[in-house]
Amino acid sequence: MNQENQTLLEFPCEFSVKAMGLSSHPDFETLILEIVSLHVPDLTAQNCRTRQSKNGKYLSVSVTFQATSKTQLDAIYYALTDHTDVVMSL
Confidence of residue 6 (pLDDT cuts 50, 70, 90): confident
CB atoms within 10 A of CB 61: 24
The DSSP bridge pattern shows strands 88-89 and 58-67 to be unpaired
User: CA 87 → CA 19, 36, 42, 61, 81, distances in Å?
Assistant: 8, 16, 26, 12, 8
pTM of model > 0.85: yes
Q: What is the pLDDT of residue 1?
A: 44
Contact 15, 74 (CB under 8 A): no
